[in-house]
Amino acid sequence: MAINSEAQTSEPLVAVVSGGASGIGAAAAVALSARGVHVAALDLKPDQVAAPAVGIACDVSDDVSVRSAVTEVVERFGGIDIVVNNAGIAAQGTVADNDDDEWLRVLDVNVIGMVRLARAALPHLRKSPAAAIVNTCSSFATIGVPKRVLYSTSKGAVRSLTLAMAADHIREGIRVNAVAPGAVDTPWIQRMLAKAPDPEAQRIALDDRHPSGRLARPEEVGEAIAFLATSASATTGTILAVDGGIRALRL
């Protein structure tokens, strides 16, 4: 099958968004819903998913849970056209700081979690005339930042996963792309700032680190995800920076 193109279907598209109860995933759900897509938000906290997205309980670190959530989505909506692999967890420290259990836990959620959801959804994506996967990567995949060795490694893997999957699936009509945000003003960043000795000063420093002078808003990343999922019909294997210029610019 050739690369998919827009408007080949009159049925509403169906998307699954992991981590769709909060932050970037919730914003992606809103942006996709605004485009007429039916959205199932797969999350540990399905009760916190905002309508019109439908919350479905799912732990991406558990293959049985992922398969059962995908089955539930297909039974409810009739198929899956879009996968937004977004659930992720943080880790801080140098290579000396995180023990094996933490390495395995973070890679399990941030990397293998995306593998599990893509793998379970693939048979359904193959039936879609407009199939797309969008992974949430990070600017940390390509920038060395102190004390983020485990988290950055996980996002480097997401970058490679995206490119390799894009190559594997383009000839069956499935596009695979990623967004690479800089810091985004979500509960994730708010939790991190709350732990700082001076949260206000830390927030200003974080804003200043971006050439744009500010963090991105979750809606800005959600729009980029929705664009890659529904409109970018000739785009695959692309890592779209949504980072206020932090990776590419030196002022």
Q: Is 188 in the site for ligand NAD (CB under 6 A)?
A: yes
Span interacting with ligand NAD, options 95-103, 160-168, 177-185, 223-231, rule CB under 6 A? 177-185
Strand partners, 42: 18, 56
Q: Is 30 in the site for ligand NAD (CB under 6 A)?
A: no
Cβ–Cβ < 8 Å for 202, 215? no
Q: Is 70 in the site for ligand NAD (CB under 6 A)?
A: no
Nearest to ligand NAD of 60, 161 (CB atom): 60
Non-local (6+) Cβ contacts of 110 within 8 A are 88, 89, 151, 154, 155, 157, 158
User: What distance in Å separates the CA atoms of residue 104 and residue 166, rounded to the nearest whole number?
Assistant: 25
Annotated catalytic residue, options 16, 74, 140, 151 = 151
Q: Is 162 in the site for ligand NAD (CB under 6 A)?
A: no
Please say if 151 is a catalytic residue: yes
Alpha helix positions (H), the chain: 23-34, 63-77, 100-107, 113-125, 149-169, 187-194, 199-209, 218-230
> Which of positions 209-228 make contact with ligand NAD (CB under 6 A)?
none
Q: Tokens representing 83?
A: 């996968």
| Neighbouring C-beta atoms of residue 231, cutoff 10 Å | 11
Rounded to the nearest whole angstrom, what is the least distance from the CB of residue 221 to ligand NAD in the complex? Answer: 8
**Burial grade of 94 (CB within 10 A; 0-12, 13-18, 19 or more):** exposed
Among 189, 229, 239, 241, binds ligand NAD (CB under 6 A): 189
| Neighbouring C-beta atoms of residue 67, cutoff 10 Å | 16
Span interacting with ligand NAD, options 1-9, 43-51, 125-133, 193-201, rule CB under 6 A? 43-51
Q: Is 55 in the site for ligand NAD (CB under 6 A)?
A: no
Q: Is 109 in the site for ligand NAD (CB under 6 A)?
A: yes
Q: Which residues are catalytic?
A: 151
Binding site for ligand NAD (CB under 6 A): 18-19, 21-25, 43-45, 58-61, 86-89, 109, 136, 138, 181, 183-184, 186-189
